[in-house]
């Protein structure tokens, strides 16, 4: 990983400032996308536990066969 990071830093240092701004924007985009993905996964897990009590019952078992 160190070699890749060193290589990436060398490439970044060679870029003009306007390109660095583009790289920074893209890195921010990736970071926020990953954060949103984790939030959605955490929310989904929380809701599965919560709704499991409602969904998993004998009265609605017939719908599980559909």
The C-alpha atoms of residue 47 and residue 41 are separated, in whole angstroms, by 10
Cα–Cα dist 48/56, whole Å: 11
Cα distances (Å, whole numbers) of residue 18 to 6, 33, 54, 64: 21, 23, 54, 56
d(Cα 24, Cα 40) in Å, to the nearest integer?
24
The residues spanned by each domain of the chain are: 17-64
- Asked whether the whole model's pTM tops 0.75, one would answer no
Q: Which pLDDT tens digit goes with each residue over 3-57?
A: 799 999 999 999 999 999 999 999 999 999 999 999 999 999 888 877 877 777 7
Contacts of 43 (CB under 8 A, 6+ apart): none
């Amino acid at each position: 990983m160190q070699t890749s990071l060193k290589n990436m830093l060398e490439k970044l240092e060679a870029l003009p400032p306007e390109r660095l701004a583009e790289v920074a924007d893209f890195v921010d985009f990736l970071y926020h996308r990953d954060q949103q993905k984790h939030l959605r996964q955490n929310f989904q897990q929380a809701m599965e536990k919560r709704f499991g009590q409602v969904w998993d019952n004998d009265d609605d078992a017939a719908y599980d066969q559909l």
